[in-house]
Structure 1
Amino acid sequence: MKINGEVTTGLGKAAYFLSQEFYTKEFKKNCGFIPFPGTLNVIVPESCLDEINEVKSNCENIIKPDEGFGAVKYIKAVINDKIEGAIVFPAKTTHEENYLEFIAEDKLRDKLDLEDGDIVTLEF
């Protein structure tokens, strides 16, 4: 699946969660990288939600957390045909359904020179 979406500012909570050792160890083991402590938030068209929800529902890649934290489903993905990473689906989230959170080894706003409103392509 390949979709375009708009970069937007998140809530700033992912940095804390992505710096937890049990998450970083699992992403390193399963995706091949330790994620930058933060996600790139992308708003996708509502017309894509059925397909995205199907992918999310069928996703078997799950990081089971330490006590007090939520599980995270993830699927490997590529942004702008350049950078490999993953789309994460946290069990505990306050984002709307049409927000996707992309993780990678690098700070993507800097690496890809992105600002709010820029359009990116996600492939997964």
Structure 2
Amino acid sequence: MKIDGEVTTGLGKAAYFLSQDFYTKEFKKNLGFIPYPGTLNVVVSDEYLDEINEIKNNCENLIKPDTEFGAVKYIEAKLNDEVSGAIVFPAKTTHEENYLEFIAENKLRDQLNLKDGDSVSLEF
């Protein structure tokens, strides 16, 4: 599935969660990289929500920490046909359904010179 979306500013909470050892170890083991402590937030059209929810609900890639932190589902993805990473679906989130959170090894806003409102594509 390939969808287009628009870069937007998140809440700034992902940096804390993505710097926790149990998350970084699992992402390194399962995806081959330690994610930059933050996500690239992409707002997608509501027309994709049924497909995204189906993928999320059927996703078996799961990190379940044994602390007060929530579980995270993830699916490998590619941003703009060039950056490998994953879309994460945190069990505890305050984002609307049409917000996708993409993780990668580097800070993508700097690497790709992205700013709010820029169009990007995600393939997963």
With the length of structure 1 as denominator, give the TM-score of the two structures. Answer: 0.99
- Residues 2-34 of structure 1 deviation map (CA, whole Å, 9 limit, x = unaligned): 000000000000000000000000000000000
User: Contact 1:22/1:66 (CA < 8 Å) preserved in 2?
Assistant: no
Rounded to whole Å, the distance in 1 between the matches of 2:66 and 2:93 is: 17
User: 2:44 corresponds to which residue?
Assistant: 44
Q: How many residues align?
A: 124
Regions of 4+ moved over 4 Å: none
Percentage identity across paired residues of the two chains: 79
Gaps of 5+ in 1: none
> Which amino acid letter does the alignment assign opposite residue 79 of structure 1?
L
User: 1:10 corresponds to which residue?
Assistant: 10
- SS of residue matched to 1:100: strand
1:51 is displaced (CA, Å) by: 0.3
> Which amino acid letter does the alignment assign opposite residue 106 of structure 1?
N
Which runs of structure 2 are paired with 1:43-62 in the superposition (5 Å)?
A: 43-62=43-62
1:66 is displaced (CA, Å) by: 2.8
Q: CA RMSD in A?
A: 0.4
> Which amino acid letter does the alignment assign opposite residue 16 of structure 2?
Y
With the length of structure 2 as denominator, give the TM-score of the two structures. Answer: 0.99
User: Contact 1:10/1:41 (CA < 8 Å) preserved in 2?
Assistant: yes
- Residues 16-66 of structure 1 deviation map (CA, whole Å, 9 limit, x = unaligned): 000000000000000000000000000000000000000000000000113
> Which amino acid letter does the alignment assign opposite residue 79 of structure 2?
I
- SS of residue matched to 1:81: coil
- SS of residue matched to 2:97: coil
1:67 is displaced (CA, Å) by: 1.0
